[in-house]
């Protein structure tokens, strides 16, 4: 059995959904479970309308709801024409838009946007897209059945970035997804959304989380493969939006893919790899606009290259904690990392010296409390507007000249911090935010050829 996940652009409009249906129909015989994202741009629109409503701009928020209603209904009409299926689907989509409008009104009255209500609103993208896709697939003759992802993706109650509960997900899949597959049906679920195990209230897995949903479902059902269908030919040697000359990687190791995803390769949600790796399920990244392409295969065995790809991400915060007295005393680092764990903020890159520890974080919602807790340990400085470039390769640290070439290539770009992961697979450099893209281009040119600027 295969889990196929289609991202926002792969279900962005009627034409894309029809193309997606054609891909699904080639997989029905193997057993297929489909996970879909919201239509491209819908999650952003939902979050924006929630913020607008909570600020009291109800008319604007309701206008946005109507635009979403119209967009989904228009695509439904294009896909389904007229008839019972079209009427039913349009009525269901419209009822969802009504529900969304009520939520927006409630938010405008409350004047406050909690993570819980943000998830309630953001979940509508996948709720609507999964309904639309099921109807479209059925219209194409696929035995598709809708499964409400909230009943299967069981999580904790950390709204906007919920932690999945794999055992509960596996139980739910055994009960309500696998029997459908055994019956020759194609279950279709929304990605990204779930519900709290204790309260049943809607949660989400964080932005870009549909990839993670697909891999969690794949692991829960012991799938033979997980296919991530997107708008590029696979995982490339760099983000093609930054480096147009980047090339498709036919095969890449799980650990390299995980590093690339964590350091900005948005093509995969950073958590996607972990559930698959535990069971050795291969993950493929494929282009839904060019399904005949081979895409990228992510597995344990992959050719060991000094440098496999370059990634980069913006909006990183660098924190330096200086504590000449305490740094090397026992327990100092533990107390330091405890602070981040307590505030559920993950640290990306770390470097230590005799008198200070430098680290980077992405997530700054808890930064004020983190800084105040860190001040108990030493002097704290915070540098915003930083970015990270990462040179990832399974053999980067094994002899060769990869490191010296990387440093030479970035030339006069100022490096605030440098770190080579212990596994020797990732060389990360913290640079000024506006230097991330130039640095990526220079590094790519040095390792893969092409233009440096």
Q: DSSP string spanning 150-171?
A: GGTSEE-S-TTSPPB-HHHHHH
Contact track, ligand ASP, 169-198, x by CB under 6 A: ----------------------xx------
- Does 43 participate in binding ligand ASP (rule CB under 6 A)? yes
The smaller minimum CB distance to ligand ASP, of residues 37 and 195, is found at: 37
User: Closest Cα partner for 248 from 72, 448, 409, 435?
Assistant: 448
- 35, 36, 37, 190: which one contacts ligand ADP (CB under 6 A)? 37
Q: How many CA atoms lie within 13 A of 49 on its CB side?
A: 32
Closest CB to ligand ADP among residues 111, 449: 449
Query: Which residue among 208, 209, 312, 393 contacts Mg ion (CB under 5 A)?
Result: 208
Closer to ligand ASP by Cβ: residue 208 or 393: 208
- Measured between alpha carbons, how far is 218 from 33 in angstroms, rounded to an integer? 9
Kindly tell me which of 31 and 208 has the beta carbon lying closer to ligand ADP.
208
Using alpha carbons, list the distances in angstroms from residue 196 to 8, 178, 298: 25, 22, 31
Please identify which residue in 38, 53, 108, 257 interacts with ligand ASP, judged by CB under 6 A: 38
Using DSSP bridges, classify how beta strands 154-155 and 186-190 pair: parallel, antiparallel or unpaired. Answer: unpaired
Does position 202 bind ligand ASP by CB under 6 A?
A: no
Question: Smallest Cα–Cα separation from 390: which of 419, 365, 353?
Answer: 419
- Residue with the closest Cβ to Mg ion? 208
Residue with tokens 């995982």: 235
Using CB under 6 A as the binding rule, whether residue 13 contacts ligand ADP is answered as no
Angle at 196 between CA 47 and CA 144, to 5 degrees: 75
Q: How far is the CB of 229 from ligand ASP (least distance, A)?
A: 12
Give, for 315, the enclosing helix (H) or strand (E).
Answer: strand 309-322
Measure the CA–CA gap between 4 and 322, rounded to whole angstroms: 48
Cα distances (angstroms) measured from residue 289 to each of 6, 43, 186, 212, 236: 11, 22, 21, 22, 16
For Mg ion, which stretch binds (CB under 5 A), given 70-78, 88-96, 99-107, 206-214? Answer: 206-214
Q: At what angle do helices 210-220 and 166-176 cross, to 10 degrees?
A: 70
Q: What is the DSSP string of 361-392?
A: ES--TTHHHHHHHHTTTSEEEEEEEEEEEEEE
Applying CB under 6 A, does 7 fall inside the site for ligand ADP? yes
Q: Which residue do the tokens 């709801």 mark? A: 65
Residue 8 contacts ligand ASP per CB under 6 A: yes
Total residues in contact with ligand ASP, by rule CB under 6 A: 12
DSSP conformational letter for 220? H
Among ligand ADP, ligand ASP, Mg ion, none, the one that 239 touches (CB under a kind-dependent 5 to 8 A) is ligand ADP
Are the C-beta atoms of residues 211 and 31 closer than 8 Å to each other?
A: no
Nearer to Mg ion among residue 208 and residue 387 (C-beta)? 208
Q: With beta carbons less than 8 A apart as the criterion, state whether 275 and 216 touch.
A: yes
Q: Does 35 bind ligand ADP (CB under 6 A)?
A: no
Give the contact letters, 1-20, x = binds to Mg ion (CB under 5 A), - = no.
------x-------------
- Give the interface segment with Mg ion, choosing from 205-213, 235-243, 317-325, 334-342 (CB under 5 A): 205-213
Residues 257 to 276 in contact with ligand ADP, rule: CB under 6 A: 260, 265-267
| CA–centroid distance for 428 within its chain | 20
**Cβ at position 121, least distance to ligand ASP in Å:** 12
Residues paired with 252 in a beta bridge = 298
8 A C-beta contact, residue 443 and residue 390: no
Exposed, middle or buried: residue 266 (CB in 10 Å: 0-12, 13-18, 19+)? middle
Q: Does 8 bind ligand ADP (CB under 6 A)?
A: yes
Residue 9 contacts ligand ADP per CB under 6 A: yes
Residue 262 and residue 51: Cα distance in Å, rounded?
27
Residue 208 near ligand ASP by CB under 6 A: yes
Q: Name which position in 37, 75, 262, 419 contacts ligand ASP (CB under 6 A).
A: 37
- Fill in the per-residue mask, 228 to 247: x = in contact with ligand ADP (CB under 6 A), - = not in contact: --xxx--xx-xxxx------
Q: Residue 143 touches which of ligand ADP, ligand ASP, Mg ion, none (CB < 5 to 8 A by kind)?
A: none
Q: What does the per-residue mask of binding to ligand ASP show for 93-132, with x meaning CB under 6 A?
A: --------------------------------x-------
Q: How far is the CB of 270 from ligand ASP (least distance, A)?
A: 12
Q: Which residues of this chain interact with ligand ASP, rule CB under 6 A?
A: 7-8, 37-38, 43, 125, 191-192, 207-210
Residues that bind ligand ADP (CB under 6 A): 7-10, 37, 208, 230-232, 235-236, 238-241, 260, 265-267, 309
Chain residues binding Mg ion by CB under 5 A are 7, 208
């Amino acid at each position: 059995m295969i889990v196929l996940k289609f991202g926002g652009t792969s279900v962005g409009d009627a034409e894309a959904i029809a193309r997606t249906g054609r891909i699904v129909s080639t997989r029905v015989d193997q057993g297929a479970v489909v996970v879909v994202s919201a239509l491209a741009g819908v999650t952003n629109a939902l979050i924006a309308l929630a913020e607008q409503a909570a600020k009291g701009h109800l008319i604007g928020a309701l206008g946005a709801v109507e635009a979403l209603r119209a967009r989904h209904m228009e695509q439904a009409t294009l896909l389904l024409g007229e008839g019972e299926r079209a009427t039913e689907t349009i009525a269901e989509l419209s009822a969802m838009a009504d529900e969304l409008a009520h939520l927006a009104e409630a938010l405008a009255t409350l004047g406050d946007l909690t993570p819980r209500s943000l998830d309630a609103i953001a979940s509508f993208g996948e709720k609507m897209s999964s309904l639309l896709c099921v109807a479209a697939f059925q219209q194409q003759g696929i035995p598709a059945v809708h499964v409400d992802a909230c009943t299967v993706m069981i999580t904790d109650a950390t709204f906007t970035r919920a932690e999945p509960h794999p055992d509960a997900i596996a139980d739910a899949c055994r009960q309500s997804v696998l029997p459908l597959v055994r019956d020759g049906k194609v279950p279709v679920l929304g990605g990204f959304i779930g519900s709290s195990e204790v309260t049943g209230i809607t949660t989400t897995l964080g932005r870009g989380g549909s990839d993670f949903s697909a891999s969690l479902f794949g692991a829960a059902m012991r799938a033979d493969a997980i296919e991530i269908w997107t708008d590029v030919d696979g995982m490339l040697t760099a983000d093609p939006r930054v480096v147009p000359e980047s090339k498709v990687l036919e095969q890449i190791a799980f650990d390299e893919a995980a590093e690339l995803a964590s350091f900005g390769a948005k093509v995969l949600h950073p958590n996607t790899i972990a559930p698959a790796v535990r069971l050795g399920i291969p993950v493929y990244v494929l282009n839904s606009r060019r399904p005949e392409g081979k895409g990228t295969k992510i597995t344990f065995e992959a050719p060991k290259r000094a440098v496999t790809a370059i990634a980069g991400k913006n909006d990183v915060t660098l924190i330096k904690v200086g504590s000449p007295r305490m740094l090397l005393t026992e327990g100092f680092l533990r107390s330091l990392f405890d602070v981040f764990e307590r505030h559920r903020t993950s640290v990306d890159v770390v470097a230590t010296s005799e008198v200070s520890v430098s680290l980077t974080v992405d997530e700054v919602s808890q930064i004020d409390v983190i800084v105040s807790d860190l001040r108990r340990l030493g002097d704290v400085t915070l540098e915003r507007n930083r970015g990270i470039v990462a040179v990832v390769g399974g053999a980067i640290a094994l002899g060769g000249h990869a490191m010296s070439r990387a440093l030479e290539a970035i030339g006069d770009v100022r490096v605030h911090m440098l770190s080579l992961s212990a596994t020797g697979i990732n060389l990360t450099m913290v640079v000024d935010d506006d230097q991330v893209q130039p640095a990526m281009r220079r590094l790519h040119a040095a390792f893969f050829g092409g233009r440096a600027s």
